[in-house]
C-alpha cells in the first residue's frame, strides 16, 4: 500500500515580532490545499503589550487565523496556535502573508509553522 502525505508544513521566521511589518511564505508546486494550522514559538520575552499576528492570502485575513502572543509571562519557547476555518485556500504560486502589528517591545524573533492539508 502506498503512503499518501495529506499534510505538509512550511516554516518561516519573523526576525523582530515587535516591529510592525509582514513576511511572505511562498507556496511551492503540489502544495495546493487549505491552511489548517499555524503554530508559533517565541525566541525570548516580549514586553509592553500583546502582539497580534494576522495570516492572510491575497490580502484577505484567514478566518480564525489570528494569533495573539501574550506579553504576560512571555519567554523563549512560548507557543501559540490558530486553526483557520475559511479564507484559507492556497494554490501554487500564492503567498501566505503573516503580518505583525508590532505592538510589543523587545527585539524578539518568532518561528512559524504553517500546516497545509492537501
User: Which domains, and CATH codes, for the chain?
Assistant: 7-117 (2.60.120.260)
pLDDT of residue 5: 75
Record the pTM. 0.94
Q: Where are the beta strands (DSSP E) in 15-106?
A: 21-26, 33-42, 51-57, 60-61, 67-69, 79-82, 89-90, 95-100
> Can you tell me the mean pLDDT for 36-43?
98
pLDDT of residue 3: 67
DSSP state of 49: S
pLDDT at 52 over 90: yes
* HSE of 51, CA atoms in CB hemisphere, 13 A: 33
Query: Is the C-alpha dihedral spanning 25, 29, 33, 38 positive or negative?
Result: negative
Going by pLDDT thresholds of 50, 70 and 90, the confidence category of residue 18 is very high
Amino acid at each position: 500500500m502506498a503512503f499518501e502525505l495529506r499534510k505538509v508544513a512550511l516554516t518561516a521566521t519573523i526576525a523582530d515580532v515587535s516591529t510592525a511589518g509582514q513576511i511572505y511564505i511562498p507556496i511551492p508546486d503540489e502544495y495546493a490545499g487549505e491552511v489548517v494550522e499555524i503554530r508559533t514559538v517565541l525566541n525570548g520575552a516580549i514586553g509592553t503589550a500583546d502582539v497580534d499576528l494576522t495570516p492572510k492570502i491575497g490580502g484577505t485575513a484567514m478566518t480564525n487565523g489570528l494569533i495573539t502572543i501574550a506579553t504576560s509571562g512571555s519567554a523563549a519557547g512560548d507557543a501559540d496556535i490558530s486553526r483557520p476555518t475559511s479564507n484559507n485556500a492556497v494554490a501554487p504560486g500564492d503567498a501566505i502573508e503573516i503580518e505583525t502589528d508590532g505592538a510589543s517591545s523587545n527585539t524578539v524573533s518568532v518561528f512559524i509553522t504553517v500546516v497545509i492539508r492537501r
